[in-house]
A and B are shown apart, each in its own frame.
Chain A
Amino acid sequence: MTTIITKKPIIETVSNQPSKKAVYETKQLNLWYGSNHALKNIDLEIMENEVTAIIGPSGCGKSTYIKTLNRMVELVTSVKTSGEILYRGRNIFDQDYGVEELRTRVGMVFQKPNPFPKSIYDNVAYGPRIHGIKNKKILDEIVEKSLRGAAIWDEVKDRLNENAYSISGGQQQRICIARALAIEPDVILMDEPTSALDPISTLKVEELVQELKKDYSIIIVTHNMQQAARISDKTAFFLNGEVVEFDHTDTIFSNPSDKRTEDYISGRFG
């Protein structure tokens, strides 16, 4: 259902070389919340060092899908899945694949900035600490590296011991990104990371995403189609729990092959 349909040949840019490896291969994924069939036969292949955007109207399953990638969806009771998701070739639903191990490789940034009610330093050091790093010098290094990585080091370097709630919402969200970077993940999942932010903070996060894709594979759910067009390499359009179309972002936005995609991106519904 969701093969990559290309009407015109795609000009391969340097960053789009075919030698790239897949981080996530989703095969025939189905998911039910009780009797509600939320994801239907999803087939998606997500490549490394790319930004993959997931767009679609509310309730289309895009958030559910991204939460399935690190199995956060299982925190909701009565979730049932079938099919498989291979992360770096290994099925994440395997009995012996621990969720903690998976989530160490796959960081997540949430819709609302959700720092812990602790200092900025302790927020970023949380991940390394739970994974057993106690050495203060190493922690200092990780905190600085992560805050620099999230482009917020200069703004907070003199107030690392202040409560993370004392800074603005946009800064909090970048602290949350730094916190996700601190576990040195391979993939970063972002669930509408800018929906609670003002335009300037949004711009900063978008620039950051561009920067981060050099080292990480990023999957971002967004309500904002312009955002998807601006920052992503590939875009998947979800509708009613199905992937309607998955292609290079340029193609999706300039020459979609499905009528529903065209209607959605031109603002006729959703």
Chain B
Amino acid sequence: MRYIEQQTVVKRMDGRLIINAVFKYLFMAATLLALLALVILLYRIVTQGAGHLSIDFLMNFASRFPEQAGIKAALVGSLWLMMVVAPTSIILGVGSAIYLEEYARQNRITTFIRMNISNLAGVPSVVFGLLGLTIFVRALSLGNSVLAAGFTMSLLILPVIVVASQEAIRSVPGELRDASYGMGATKWQTIVKIILPAAIPGVLTGSILALSRAIGETAPLIVIGIPVIIQFLPAGVMDTFTALPMQIYDWSSRPQQEFQTVAAAGIIVLMAVLLFMNSIAVIIRNKFDKRY
């Protein structure tokens, strides 16, 4: 006897095809909805802020007159911040990932550490701000300097970089390690010459996406007391500064209607910086991507 009757199959076919189609359109609608929200957001910001965008806007310091308000201090401050965050977080993050993937033994403690690094990536940024305030600003007396803010941001994005780098290192085929060890290479030689070059696209993509997060983050900066209106550029890492999201937050919370336009222009600048960083990530990935 047959278990699958041809007649029942035909009878049920219509229902199956309908469900099949329904889900296709359901998922499509979800995508369109997200896209629509993005388009509306971009449209609003561009129409509102584009008029205020000019060379002057990039070259002026903040001002209490909306027409003179510029983003110079914040833009340069964010770049200073990145100069501290990028090396600190990438060196520490990639180093930890190498240790966890290549050196650490698989036991309960390392499993616990691995698990908690992922959890750490989900901790709210304001908590990292409090940590930075306690350790860097107060205990190490760095004040509200570029260095203190940079270290705080580094801690914030460190888990993301560690997890992304771990994934990248793990995806390097084991056969390449075998080939290297099989010729008498030491662990360090294998890491430097084989594993890192193969893992670089993944490591850098993850790192740059994490840095983009750091450049757009506001809460930790507020907590560690970064000022908003400053009329000078930092001369070194021990100087105070302000950053793009701080400046935008300040403008958008002002009562005068004109400052909303200034805030929108600031958002355009911030988004341009983010897009620029993300496209670097894409270029790097395409350039270094190698097939195995």
B-binding residues in A (CB < 8 A):
70, 72, 75, 77, 99-104, 107-108, 110, 112, 114-117, 126-127, 130-131, 163, 165, 176, 179-180, 183
Contact = CB atoms under 8 A, between A and B. Distances in A.
B184 A103 contact: yes
A167 to B, nearest CB: 13
B202 to A, nearest CB: 14
Interface string B169-205: 0000101111111111110010001100110000000
Interface of B: 105-106, 173, 175-186, 189, 193-194, 197-198, 290-292
Given A116-B194, A126-B193, A107 B291 contact: no
21 contacts: A70-B182, A72-B181, A99-B184, A100-B184, A100-B185, A103-B181, A108-B178, A108-B183, A110-B182, A112-B175, A116-B180, A116-B194, A127-B183, A130-B183, A130-B185, A130-B186, A130-B189, A130-B193, A131-B184, A179-B179, A183-B183
Contacts of B194: 116
A116 B178 CA distance: 11
A122 to B, nearest CB: 9
Contacts of A72: 178, 181-182
Given A77-B105, A126-B193, A114 B176 contact: yes
B179 A176 contact: yes
B183 A110 contact: no
A75 B181 CA distance: 9
B259 to A, nearest CB: 53
Contacts of B189: 130
B290 to A, nearest CB: 4
Contact of B184 (A101, A115, A117): A101
Given A108-B182, A130-B183, 5 more contacts: A77-B105, A77-B106, A100-B185, A130-B185, A165-B290
B106 to A, nearest CB: 6
Nearest to A98: B184
A117 B292 CA distance: 7
A115 B194 CA distance: 11
A55 to B, nearest CB: 22
B142 to A, nearest CB: 42
B183 A103 contact: yes
B182 A126 contact: no
Contacts of B290: 117, 163, 165
**Residue with the greatest number of chain A CB neighbours at <10 A, chosen from B178, B189, B197, B292:** B178
B178 A107 contact: no
Contacts of B185: 100, 126, 130
A3 B161 CA distance: 57
Contacts of A163: 290
A165 B291 contact: yes
A107 B105 contact: no
Nearest to A129: B193
A48 B228 CA distance: 78
A115 B176 CA distance: 7
Contact of A100 (B178, B186, B197): B186
A127 B181 contact: no
A104 B182 contact: no
Contacts of B177: 75
